[in-house]
Structure 1
Amino acid sequence: MAALALACAMPAAAQVAPYPAEFSTREIATNGTTLHVRVGGSGPAVLLLHGYGETGDMWEPLAARLVRNRRVIVPDLRGLGLSAKPAGGYDKKTQAEDVAGVLAALGVDRVDVVAHDIGNMVGYAFVARYPARVPHFVLMDAPIPGIGPWEEILKNPLLWHFRFGGPDMERLVAGRERIYLDRFWNEFSADPARFDEASRVHYAALYALPGAMHAGFSQFAAFDQDAIDDRALLARGKLTMPVLAIGGEKSFGPTMATVARAAAANVTQVVIPASGHWLMEEQPEATSDAIVAFLK
């Protein structure tokens, strides 16, 4: 009911491409919170995990293709989109259990995982804990705390937002969410025009909802704990399922495969030309082609 009220409160013009009619939405109670989840199709299950600056809405181009012969599950992460916004629990180990609870509620055991940005981190925490449940894992254009070149990646000045947060920062961006988010959409794109105005309006409205920016900052504030947790998971051994590492040519590029190979033994590298970080907005067809081919 709360998610419906929030959705109705959003401006009518602030829309991205809707999911196909095969999809329905559910509010699923899990791990002490509630996630807004899109579910559609039948067949082998695939879970799509979004990143910061977006919600599960980002996956529509890929979901529309996968739903033809897959059961597609697309949550909004804890605190983001139309999911509930608890005060805490933004470490990725906790969010992996959010995901596990969603899958349990849907009666899903085995599931392919496709992830981007913060979704990579939640995805790794889930896959590394439940490797026997995941036949394929796709990582897209973001690091994993504590894994591979993490400490070197942290030195990149473009990533100052990893340490930006807290009550004063929340006050600074209150009412200015669009300005703050435009920075990410512009600087991390090969061509900022590829992240279109309708998408910007849509996501800015969602991130302006009460508690959303706090939740977003909390995703980053948890990175130190995430690094500790991820190193403990990696100490159990590398992932052995096939892993696809996708980088945007103007963003992580082949570094995504370097990160993946630090955590997994069977990695395929793909670099998407003419794309920055926002792969599903900048090059949706090429990115979806790579994922669909890999999952087959």
Structure 2
Amino acid sequence: MAHTPPLHTCPIELRQIETNGIRANVAVAGSGPAIVLLHGFPHTWRLWSEIIGPLSEHYRIIAPDLRGFGATTRASDGYDAGALAADIAGILDALGEPTAAVVAIDAGTPVAVLLALRHPDRIRRLVVMEALLGRLPGAEDFLAAGPPWWFGFHAVPGLAETVLLGHEARYIEWFLTTGTRGRGVRADIHDAFIDAYTGEDALRCAFSYYRALPTSAHQLDLAVAANRLTTPTLAIGAHPVGDALERQLRPITDDLVGQVIPDCGHIIPLDRPHELLDLMMPFLAAERPA
């Protein structure tokens, strides 16, 4: 399937940054106030390929491969939201950034929210997409028929990586196709994602996020019990999550805007990058010095 060319290209530097016991592969571009971009499954930093360029005209973009993903260390543990938030804080420290806005999707979203709850002085703005936040109220309608089928499959220790070994491409392609409502993603990004999730250890790391979900949920419960989310937050939904994330955030967040992008799959930054930027840019610019 043909795809439109990237919105805007820019020089991107890949840096290896030591943080919290791992070496993170981090894409860095542009200059200005820092924005951290946190991907989910089954992505790498290249999930943001369509929007890094436009954002880099005004901001310093920091887009890591999360722990265990892409070219970042395939650690044996540390896949709960708390450890991942510490990874990101360490990246900001290493890059000399005392504060940042954070944009996150899918598995990156609990990390971003926990980071803002634990370090409200460091996170200027939050943009969160297409995810659920542990056991927080608000997602009952979305979960009425139970969580998505792959949550249980991925959660069983050792099962999914054994079953899928040798079939990684077909499995990841299902998520890329479904996550764009059949439109697919650019060939170069498609190939990069397949490569990143090929091999038993790569799969183990990916599924470790699901196996750590109970721990992450407990961490969010404790953080929400102790603090409100004071960071200005934009919650963006698409298909299938819709407004469930917004409804989870509404009772705990002081300053929240919710939006749902129509006819958009789960992988918003690749499926509807123009629409995403139309929502993000004014929200982020509201805190940028004139």
Q: TM-score, normalised by structure 2?
A: 0.90
Q: In the superposition, relative to structure 1, how do residues 198 and 227 fare at CA in structure 2: closer, same or farther (>3 Å)?
A: same
1:124 aligns with 2:113: yes
Match of 2:173 among 182, 189, 193: 182
2:228 equivalent in structure 1 = 238
Shift of 1:147: 2.2
In 1, the alpha carbon distance for the partners of 2:45 and 2:211 equals 21
Unpaired segments ≥5 residues, structure 2? 286-290
In 2, the alpha carbon distance for the partners of 1:206 and 1:178 equals 10
In 2, the alpha carbon distance for the partners of 1:67 and 1:187 equals 29
1:86 aligns with 2:70: no
**AA matched with 1:186:** T
In 1, the alpha carbon distance for the partners of 2:251 and 2:187 equals 37
In 2, the alpha carbon distance for the partners of 1:171 and 1:19 equals 40
Deviates more, 1:120-129 or 1:20-29: 20-29
Q: After the TM superposition, which residues 276-291 of structure 1 pair with which residues of structure 2 at under 5 Å, given as runs?
A: 276-291=265-280
Q: After the TM superposition, which residues 48-87 of structure 1 pair with which residues of structure 2 at under 5 Å, given as runs?
A: 48-87=37-76
Secondary structure at the counterpart of residue 84 of structure 1: coil
Structure holding more helix per residue: 1
Secondary structure at the counterpart of residue 124 of structure 2: coil
Identity of aligned residues (%): 30
In 2, the alpha carbon distance for the partners of 1:77 and 1:198 equals 20
**AA matched with 2:52:** A
Q: TM-score, normalised by structure 1?
A: 0.88
2:196 equivalent in structure 1 = 206
Secondary structure at the counterpart of residue 269 of structure 1: strand
Q: In the superposition, relative to structure 1, how do residues 150 and 251 fare at CA in structure 2: closer, same or farther (>3 Å)?
A: closer
Which deviations, in whole Å up to 9, do the C-alpha atoms of 1:175-228 show, x marking residues without a partner? 111122223223343x21243444332211111155211001000110001111
Shift of 1:268: 0.5
In 2, the alpha carbon distance for the partners of 1:167 and 1:280 equals 31
Which deviations, in whole Å up to 9, do the C-alpha atoms of 1:56-110 show, x marking residues without a partner? 1011222111111211100000000111101111011001000011111001111
**AA matched with 2:163:** L
In 2, the alpha carbon distance for the partners of 1:51 and 1:19 equals 23
Q: CA RMSD in A?
A: 2.1
Secondary structure at the counterpart of residue 26 of structure 2: strand
1:113 equivalent in structure 2 = 102
In 1, the alpha carbon distance for the partners of 2:194 and 2:204 equals 14
In 2, the alpha carbon distance for the partners of 1:137 and 1:87 equals 29
